[in-house]
Structures are given as structure tokens and as C-alpha cells.
Amino acid sequence: MSTTSQPSPPPRLAVPELLVGIGLLVCAGAVAWQTLAIPVSPLYSKVGPTVFPYLTMVGLAVLSLLLILAAFRGGWQPEEEKETPTDWKAMGIVVLGLIANLLLIRPLGFTAASVVMFVLVCFGFGSRRTVRDALLGLILALAAYFGFARALGVNIGAGFIENQLNTVVDAIIGAVGG
């Protein structure tokens, strides 16, 4: 008795996964474009302000090409996950958080805008512990702000909270150093 094995059907093109890969490739292109706009002083030898953005761009490009390749091979999602319907309400809340950050960062500053975004994204992912999420968002936003502002000297959007904290930090540094 012989058994004939039937050939497996060719993998289908996973369009949503392909779109994610293409979107990531567009992001890599945007990083390259913006990195080319960074002025580089001839005083820098090999490591200048564009090294990490270029490394990020290369990483994004490699990941996007791997995702596109996976999409042509049928995608990376398990079959049962492909059948799960999209929660458009949760997606809308997450997008609302991102839009809120864009709209609030200039008038309120990085920290307040980031806390609002963090709380909305947490809510979109199912968290109903708003106070905890706001406190965690505040800690992370302040760490990011002071990491950029103090350690790197990059202003990413100082607002009322940042200005008050900068005044306190400057006073403490002046008292300790003087």
C-alpha cells in the first residue's frame, strides 16, 4: 500500500504583515533622510552625531526586509491569531494617545504630553489603573526628559513641569557645588 503525499499549497501573501514591513521600511527611509540633515562638524573624527541614527536606520531597514520576506512566505502570525478580530476601539484609544502626545507636547511640554499618552495607551491595552499608569508614565517621562536634557543636552520639549524641576535641580547643583 503506497501513500502519496500531497504537495503543500504555496504560502499565501500575508498582506497585513507586508504592509507592516513596508511601513517600517518607510520609517527607515525617514530616519536616513533626517540623519542626512544633521550638521556634522569636521572636528568629529569617526564618531559623530549621526552614528546612532545611521545604526538605527540600518536596523530598521534589515528588520523591515526580514518582515517583508516573511510576508511573502505566508506571514509570521500563527493561523489562530490571524482569525482573531481586530479590537478597533482599543486601537482607536492607542491612536488617540499618540495624537494627544503630538498635540500637547508644545503647549504642555514633554512630560505632561507623555503621561497623557502613556495613560491612554495603557487604557487601550486594557489597564483600568489610571493613577498607577499616570505615576509610572511620569517616572518614565521624567527619566527620558532628564536623560535627553541633562545627559545629552537635547531639548525635547520643556514645559511647566520640566522648567520647575530644572530650577530645583539647578538650585541643588548650585548648593552642592558652591
**What 8-state DSSP symbol labels residue 125?**
T
Contact predicate 100/117, CB 8 Å = yes
- What confidence score (pLDDT) does residue 178 get? 62
The better pLDDT of the pair 133, 37 is held by 133
In this prediction, residue 7 has a pLDDT band, given cuts at 50, 70 and 90, of low
Query: Angle CA(14)–CA(33)–CA(28) in degrees, nearest 5?
Result: 25
* Position 166 pLDDT exceeds 60: yes
Which of 6, 29, 7, 26 lies closest to 18 in space, CA to CA? 26
pLDDT per residue as tens digits for the range 12-56: 788 888 999 999 999 999 999 999 988 877 776 666 778 888 999
Average pLDDT estimate for 142-168: 84
pTM metric for this prediction: 0.64
- What confidence score (pLDDT) does residue 90 get? 96
Write out the three cell numbers for 72.
511573502
Write out the three cell numbers for 36.
542626512
Pairwise CA distance, residues 32 & 149, whole Å: 24
- What confidence score (pLDDT) does residue 46 get? 67
**What 8-state DSSP symbol labels residue 84?**
S
pLDDT per residue as tens digits for the range 45-98: 666 778 888 999 999 999 999 999 999 998 887 877 777 888 999 999 999 999
Which residues, 6+ apart, have CB-to-CB distance to 34 below 8 Å?
53
Pairwise CA distance, residues 167 & 174, whole Å: 10
Q: Where are the domains of the chain?
A: 15-39+49-78, 88-171
